[in-house]
Chain A
Amino acid sequence: MRYAGIGASPANVQFPEPLMNFEGQLMTRATPPKHNPGLFKRNPPIAGEAEAIEAAKNGDAEAFSKLYTLHKRRVYTLCLRMLGNVSEAEDMTQEAFLHLFRKLGSFRGESAFSTWLHRLTVNLVLMHLRKKGLNLVSLEETINPSEEDSPRRDFGSRDPVLAGSVDRVSLERAVALLPPGYRMVFVLHDVEGFEHNEIATMLDCSTGNSKSQLHKARLRLRELLRQSGQPQPGQSAEAVQ
């Protein structure tokens, strides 16, 4: 089966990376893209992927289906982490692959395909949030958090360190509780491995702002993880242990 769409799509517009600013406007890099070695390391080429990409570019529906199978989990996970909502994450996964289908012709292999696809997905999610309007609140929270929203400063406390008690499940729960703006920067940097300058471009803020908000996100996570490790009302300390 062949889809007519790829050849007929406006994918002939050349852009090295699917990089959009926060207004959803397409941006092209003035200089060659700096490859993030971390992302390449975490996104090694997948057997058969290159062939599937080329075939899908030519409208091969089976090849596109293969690309979906190879990447659906990662794309969905990324959407879920950024949005914190299953239904929205599925909608954005759908949009990401539709967008991929239309833009696949512009993929030139200058970065790992999965890196390119992740960036495309991040841009779509950011655009979606912007259009929704809700994000304006959450991103304001990221860029200009109020004092009440900022994590507590607790150098004076003598709580035991978390180091030995952080695990994937507890961290996942805590990340889901982060305000959307903090969660966005944390997921982009610490989970997805984007650099601060890349995040700054995507969120249309300064690099310093990205660093600062990441720090605040981690501080908030520390608080949340500590709270989750404390006995809940009506629960004995032994029960928690």
Chain B
Amino acid sequence: MTLPRKINFDTLKPEEFEHLLPDLFATGDGKVSQDPRLKKFLAQHPDCAALVSDLEAIAEHARSLFEPVGDPSDKVWTNIQSKLREEAAHSANGESTEEDPDEDPEN
């Protein structure tokens, strides 16, 4: 799905706009509300403008979710250490180590 080459933004209908929205958001910096081609259309269709505004707000706030929420429990590190010691012991004994997660175990 990409933007059609020729779009007449002056005669755009809300249904067509909805269809174009995923690509409009994916192109440029994702600021559909700032797109000069859509200025007139959004002014004429306040519901579409409200939708754009909401989706932009959601995308904007999503970035704040990048920040960590908290630490994993201490048992995670304990388990990691224990597994690594186990693998090191196997390795020292010349045994094969833990399965490689890159390998598909179904094969």
Contacts and interface: CB of A to CB of B under 8 A. Distances in A.
Contacts of A90: 72-73, 75-76
A127 to B, nearest CB: 7
A24 interface: yes
Classify the secondary structure of B's interface with A: helix
A168 B1 contact: no
B76 A94 contact: yes
Interface string A212-233: 1011001101100100000000
A197 to B, nearest CB: 10
27 contacts: A5-B84, A5-B87, A20-B102, A25-B104, A26-B102, A42-B66, A72-B76, A76-B71, A93-B76, A94-B72, A94-B83, A98-B80, A131-B105, A162-B53, A172-B69, A175-B62, A191-B63, A192-B66, A193-B66, A208-B2, A211-B1, A211-B25, A211-B26, A218-B55, A218-B58, A225-B54, A225-B58
Interface of B: 1-2, 14, 18, 21-23, 25-26, 47-48, 50-51, 53-59, 61-73, 75-77, 79-80, 83-85, 87-88, 91-92, 97-98, 100-105
Given A3-B88, A102-B98, 7 more contacts: A4-B91, A5-B87, A20-B102, A24-B101, A73-B70, A124-B101, A159-B50
